[in-house]
Structure 1
Amino acid sequence: MDSVTLRPFRADDTLWLVERHGTLYAEAEGFDDSFAPLVAEILGAFIADHDPTCERGWIAEEAGQRLGSIFCVRLDETTAKLRLFLLVPEARGRGLGRRLLDTCMGFARDKGYTQMQLWTHESHRAACALYAATGWQLTDSKPVHSFGVDLVEQTWKITL
């Protein structure tokens, strides 16, 4: 993993991120084609409106190949929101998810946020286990029908 770098998100990463989210979630979760446009919308808003003094996105890269992403965005004065946390299957199990999460949380702390929150699905078991192992608390869980499938939506929070 020493050869993996975390670099700032660039606008030219957008198509890759949208495609990877759409494809990987369709394969793993059965998501329909409404998911990728949501990712595109989130990224479009980030590119257009993010405040680089307190918001950032990272791309994990190895030998020129993108492996994953994570974003820290401002929810309010004291709360950051973790978004678009993704690892391609071939990058999993190498500690890279923890590294991305630690980087994002460290950035949030450094920028003065006192808490973070995120939204995910119960079916993302490895990510949820990582959140729990790093001190995040599950604060809400509810069944929904989204992206063409039945899911259990979750909200997690942590005090930084």
Structure 2
Amino acid sequence: MENVEIRKFVAQDRDWLAAEHRESYARAEGFDSSFGVLVASILDDFLDQHDPTCERGWIACQEGQRLGSIFCVKLDDQTAKLRLFLLTEKARGKGLGQRMLAQCMGFAQAQGYSEMKLWTHESHRAAGALYAKNGWQLMSSEPVVSFGQPLIEQHWEITL
């Protein structure tokens, strides 16, 4: 994608990002309103409590239009967690996800984290393929009912 900027997440992105997650997952996977509540809570916690020296969020934009997000948050001194990785439908399949993942992983490594973890669902096949391509390992997979849907929850890790 041409002329795409990946910039730091700011408070003014919060409402868009919460709505984009809520609407995208409701449309694509039938998630109920509890998903939007969870995302809003994660964003509020990040805005209120994140440590900018070792945690960051990014928003991809093109000509003022937001296209996606990715976050790196601290789990412990050695481990970062990848969160809220999302691309709008028009931004998918064009290499932007790879750029955003590299940005997030590079930040984590530069901050001294030795590993990263993430949680997702098996239905996010393109994301899973991207993680695998970048050296992430699928650590566990289990059936759950979340957000009003039967899902296969996955946990991924990578050593940086």
TM-score by length of 2: 0.99
Name 2:119's counterpart in structure 1: 119
What per-residue deviation string (whole Å, max 9, x for no partner) do you get for residues 54-80 of structure 1? 000000000000000000000000000
Name 1:107's counterpart in structure 2: 107
Alignment gaps of 5+ in structure 1:
none
User: 1:1-160 maps to which residues of 2 (within 5 A)?
Assistant: 1-160=1-160
Q: Distance in 2 between matches of 1:74 and 1:24?
A: 26
Q: Distance in 2 between matches of 1:2 and 1:123?
A: 28
* Secondary structure at the counterpart of residue 39 of structure 2: helix
Number of aligned residues: 160
- Letter of the structure 1 residue corresponding to residue 67 of structure 2: L
Q: Distance in 1 between matches of 2:2 and 2:67?
A: 14
Q: What stretches of structure 1 move > 4 A for 4+ residues in a row?
A: none
* Secondary structure at the counterpart of residue 34 of structure 1: helix
Give the Å deviation of 1:2.
3.3
- Letter of the structure 2 residue corresponding to residue 96 of structure 1: L
Q: Distance in 2 between matches of 1:122 and 1:93?
A: 18
Percent identical among aligned pairs is 64
Question: What is the aligned-residue RMSD (CA, Å)?
Answer: 0.5
Alignment gaps of 5+ in structure 2:
none
Q: Distance in 1 between matches of 2:20 and 2:132?
A: 25
- Letter of the structure 1 residue corresponding to residue 90 of structure 2: E
TM-score by length of 1: 0.99
Q: Distance in 2 between matches of 1:29 and 1:134?
A: 25
